[in-house]
Chains A and B, each alone.
Chain A
Amino acid sequence: MARFDLNDDGVVVIVGSGAGGGTLGNELAQRGIKVVILEAGARNEIQDFVNDEWDSFAQLAWKDMRTTSGNWQVAKDFPNLPAWIVKSVGGSTVHWAGASLRFDEHEFRVRSTYGAVAGANLLDWPITLAELEPWYAKAENKLGVTRTNGIPGLPGNNNFKVMEAGARKIGYKEVHTGNMAINSQPRDGRGACLQIGFCFQGCKSGAKWSTLYTEIPKGEATGNLEVRPNSMALKIEHDAAGKVTGVVYADADGKTQRQKARVIAVAGNSIESPRLLLNSASNLFPDGLANSSGQVGRNYMRHMTGSVYAVFEKSVHMYRGTTMAGIIRDEARNDPKRGFFGGYEMETLSLGVPFMAAFLMPGAWGRSFTSAMEQYPRMAGMWLVGEDLPQETNRITLDPKVKDQYGLPVASVHYDDHPNDIAMRNHAYGRGAAVYQAIGATTTFPTVPYPSTHNLGTNRMSAKPRDGVVNKFGQSHDIKNLFVSDGSQFTSSAACNPTLTIVALAIRQADHIAGAMQRKEI
């Protein structure tokens, strides 16, 4: 395993080891480029994972202080937990369910397709689906996505079978066990899914793709990648010419270190990435790095989300097997006749009893709540995930009062639902309930959004520097050797889950960085 010197200014430093950072790190290492990944979390491996919701949360989740504001439900229910994401090597790919979908063509061209929507800060991506298709293909192959590359779909569990039966009954057509980054058969040195049912707690069979046990060890095996866990990046430094030169970070003992760098890529997920850029403000860049547009931290998207749980007369045991075991895609199209722009996916979801108690009706108590809990074995559930519109005022800022353990301002997350999000959520609640009622659900529960698992848009891509933070390769408009490599690059959120797109962009970015380094442009 490589160890690079703190003063080695030839390395690429990546902040974060998740979907974006972990993939980029391996892709660069494979191309012979020296890489240091700084990861704030510890290195928990497969054998460390626990099939226990709260214990796993304590082990893996990002629990450092954050604050919230805005009219979104999460600010009321979980004021200091705006997002449910990971602080551990592998990032949120340790937690993720594995749904791996491509954007639709129109989802890269939202401004052109939807027009000017009041209150929304719509912009077309500087890339098209056609440009990204070859990279999507590489990403699907890397992740081993089911129903691509000749890989069969996963078998449907009870929760899926219930959703499928209801969906067919009301005439939905595109219903299947998903495009999942979960092995339905052994592949890439990893076994097939054992239907353990704790996908959100870290997959103990390794069937589900995570950078932790795919990209990272592969990169390390080249001798070009060093991953430093328990290393929290605090500030990015630059020289008088405005080029970034290194990252100041706190090591496992809380001691401050400085890693020099030739190129820096930020991939801390959409709350921490803008926070780091803002916390790196200097005399030359008083509003934070890469922020001449003022767009760093803005246009925060978290998807229109919600869930529907339904109770039946007989048992379902939805928790058995893959958490996200199948999908209905019929509502994913853009059809403004429904009263909103964009579309949404319906994906099975289950929570165990401990999380169900916390998330079914946050804050509720008394018999209506406990009666719902007592139906647990007879419940089926789905998650609703759809496009939310970027708004300039939905943003990550530095909290004026609250500081973290290193004395730096914490991220404050402001989010207001757009009327389009609310109209879509209400539509989705209705359709979700209809699916289950069609096959005899006795009760349905429209469940409010959980803390955000998808966090996007806070360093967005734009053709013109004044509209966003990075160009079509995730390279900052202002600073040539500073890149953004995670979901914060997204110009729009699309209906589907984001990670396949994050990975496709990271592979493409690796190609670009390697080329630019070779040409001595950076």
Chain B
Amino acid sequence: MREVDHRAKLNRRIFLQGAATAVPAVAIGASTGLSIGDAFAEGATTLSPSTLKTLVKVARDIYPHDFLVDSYYITAIKPWDGKAAKDPAVKTLIEDGVKRLDQDAQDRHKMPYAQVPWESDRIVLLRGIEQTAFFAALRSDLVVSLYNQKDLWPKFGYEGSSFEHGGYIHRGFDDINWLPKA
């Protein structure tokens, strides 16, 4: 079968070589993501850098995909700065939402949300605000702004537009080869 995402094979190789080699790769991924994140947050016009960084963390906690670096979450979150600039109600919604989340984190863990080290603890905090307008707005926007990024589709094994390639008639529409014989 014609595969789309070759990480499947790659991961196996890394696994065979042992965990030690895998660690640096993961670490590089994470640190690259963070530095992009900082630059983007400093360039914001309306929302504070710390608000934006918290939003990126929240975005990853809502839709955690460990094979996606932060840049995808940043792309998904970035437009909120512009929306907040245009509409004071949006600005208030976002700022108050993040403030509340940080307060909840302070109450429970004595630190802001983004620094709470375990995802499972952060999820408890998110469950606490799940019914708020802030969470609903963020999540319903994110389900489009994250998964609608064309360059992450191949990571999900999805090929996007096919017409310009002549469809799949010669590109594997029926190439499945592992089914039991009927």
Contacts and interface: CB of A to CB of B under 8 A. Distances in A.
A198 B62 CA distance: 29
Given A315-B3, A353-B156, A370-B63, A439 B167 contact: no
A320 B165 CA distance: 12
Interface stretch (A66-74, A105-113, A162-170): A162-170
Given A161-B179, A162-B179, A168-B182, A374 B156 contact: yes
Nearest to A205: B167
A367 B147 contact: no
B144 A376 contact: no
A127 B37 CA distance: 66
Nearest to B169: A195
Contact of B178 (A157, A205, A314): A314
Interface in B135-182: 139, 143-144, 146-148, 153, 156-164, 166-169, 171-176, 178-180, 182
A156 B157 contact: no
Interface string B104-121: 000000000000000000
Contact of B172 (A194, A317, A356): A317
B123 A169 contact: no
B139 A197 contact: no
Contact of B168 (A50, A164, A320): A320
Contacts of A352: 153, 158, 160
Contacts of A354: 144, 147-148
B173 A320 contact: yes
A126 interface: no
A196 interface: yes
A392 B130 CA distance: 36
Interface string B9-25: 00000000000000000
Contacts of B147: 353-354, 356-358, 373
Interface residues of B, number: 42
B63 A377 contact: no
B169 A439 contact: no
A399 B104 CA distance: 40
Nearest to A440: B180
Q: Which of A51, A165, A168, A356 has the most CB of B within 10 A?
A: A51
B174 A54 contact: no
Given A155-B174, A161-B179, A317-B172, A204 B163 contact: yes
B174 A157 contact: yes
Contacts of A50: 161
Interface string A174-193: 00000000000000000001
For chain A, give the interface size range.
35 or more
B8 to A, nearest CB: 8
Q: Which of A54, A315, A363 has the most CB of B within 10 A?
A: A315
A439 B157 contact: no
B130 to A, nearest CB: 9
Contacts of A353: 147, 153, 156, 158
A168 B180 CA distance: 11
Given A169-B180, A196-B163, A376 B173 contact: no
A197 B167 contact: yes
B4 interface: yes
B64 A367 contact: yes
B1 A194 contact: no
Given A54-B144, A377-B157, A369 B171 contact: no
Interface string A131-157: 000000000000000000000000111
Contacts of A320: 159, 162, 168, 171-173
Contact of B167 (A195, A317, A366): A195
A374 B65 CA distance: 8
A314 B173 CA distance: 15
Interface string A344-368: 0000000011101110000101110
A52 B160 contact: yes
3 closest A-B pairs by CB: A377-B157, A194-B167, A321-B173
13 contacts: A51-B162, A51-B163, A52-B161, A155-B173, A168-B182, A194-B168, A197-B167, A352-B160, A353-B158, A354-B148, A370-B63, A378-B157, A439-B180
Interface of A: 50-52, 54, 155-158, 161-162, 164-165, 168-169, 193-198, 204-205, 314-317, 319-321, 352-354, 356-358, 363, 365-367, 369-370, 373-374, 376-378, 439
